[in-house]
Structures are given as structure tokens and as C-alpha cells.
Amino acid sequence: MRLHIVNPNTTAAMTAKIAAAARAVALPDTSIDARQPTMGPVSIEGFYDEAFAVPGLLGCIRDADRDGADAHIIACFDDTGLDAARAIAKAPVIGIGEAAFHVASLIATRFSVVTTLGVSIVPLEHNLRKYGLAERCARVRAAEVPVLALEERNADALGKISSEITAAIREDRTEAIVLGCAGMADFAGELASKHGLPVVDGVAAAVPLAEALVRLGLRTSRLGPYAAPRAKTYSGPMGGFQP
């Protein structure tokens, strides 16, 4: 099967890291097709960046659909453009935030999220409510590490994330940690060993869920808000995105 993973920002190094994390957990017969848009922000930190990342993301989804992708994974923890992607994609679409929250809820009664910057806390809290998992999340925490700093994999960034996990265990009574950024994918194993609790990476969580949907033959329902958009004219630079 062919899984398309799209990094909605334009940083190639992060796309490579995401692809490696996906391949590490994929089944032997699964091929990983990792892409990124050619337009948009270099990182997604808050609502403004997210808005400008969506067109490029949807372009990648559209192209991968035409190339025969069996499923799509959106590798931004905010689940950027997830609903719009489901409306246009022929194949099922999973967001890594959604995947990580659901996986954490299967292994712990309470989990905490450790994300990058404080500006991401409210969007993630909104998604938890949307997915019906807000009561299972003890707290969304920010390590105050910019997304691009994760590309350096320096000790300072890892130390700040680790400190938030220590605080979550002590203050939140958390039983599992969800890493709230695709750029943290290569930290999960190290942090789980250090702190002695499950640490869920969204990329790793999304891949087997996407594989399961494909093997079960399940696709996005078209009865409701994920119905295909009606044909109409899109003006200006958006002309290439009209349904």
C-alpha cells in the first residue's frame, strides 16, 4: 500500500525526519511517499501560519490522490487543513494530532500534551474538544521551543521538553505524554525511557491507523460535511484550487 504523508510547512529537513519516523513503524508492504508544499510558511506556529499553509497542503493532497495514494497523513500536530483535505481526497485522511490523542486514550486514563510554543495551546485544546477527548487530557503544556529549533536536535530543546514531562508527571498526575509537534518525532523513545511512561508521537501513531483504514476498505463518508465541494469559480491565485 502507498501512504502519502504531507508536511504542511516548507522545511525539507522536517519532511525527511517525518518520513523516517513513518518508515520505522510502517508494515513491510507499505511505501511512504513524503511531500511538502512549495509555498507557505517554513513552520506552523499558531492560527496565522496555519491559514497560509492550507492551500499548499491541499495541493499536495490533490496531487498524491491523482498519483494513487491509498491514504493521506497530515503531519502537523494542529491537524492543519484536515477537514478540507477530507472533503477533496478520494483516499482517507488522518491528522497526526487526532491520531496521537486517540492512541493515548487507549493506553492511559489521563494524558498530557507537550507542544512547542504557548501560541499552540489554544488550537490544541480546541481540537481535543472537537474530538471528544478534552476530559482525557490533563493539560496542554508548551516547552517554549520554536519548531525550527527542533531541527537542530540540541540539548536545550530536548531539555525543555523533558522538563515539561517531569512537571506533567508531578502536577498533572499524567499517565502518558503526547508530543505535540511532528518535529519531535525522533525524541519519543528517548523521553519514554528517561521518564518511565508511554510517550506518543503523532507520526508513529498515524501510520498504523492509516494502514488499518486501507486494509479495512474504509473511506471518508460523503454524507455530511465531508461531501465533495460543489463546482464553482475560484478567482485570482486560488484559480488552481477550484473544485
pLDDT tens for 98-137 read 999 999 999 999 999 999 999 999 999 999 999 999 999 9
For the residues 209-219, what does the mean pLDDT come to? 97
Residue 101 shares a structural domain with residue 118: yes
Residue 209 shares a structural domain with residue 197: no
pLDDT at 237: 84
* Tally of CB atoms within 10 A around 151: 16
Residue 224 shares a structural domain with residue 158: no
What is the average pLDDT value for the chain, to the nearest integer? 95
Q: What is the residue range of 72's domain?
A: 2-96+204-241
Adjacency order of strands within the sheet including 199-201: 137-142, 111-115, 176-180, 199-201
Contact 2, 19 (CB under 8 A): no
Q: How far apart are CA 98 and CA 24, in angstroms?
A: 20
End-to-end CA distance of the chain: 27
Residue 91 shares a structural domain with residue 133: no
Residue 150 shares a structural domain with residue 186: yes
Q: How far apart are CA 166 and CA 152, in angstroms?
A: 22
Residue 178 shares a structural domain with residue 228: no
Give this prediction's pTM. Answer: 0.94
Q: What is the CATH number of the domain that holds 196?
A: 3.40.50.12500
Q: What is the tally of structural domains in the chain?
A: 2
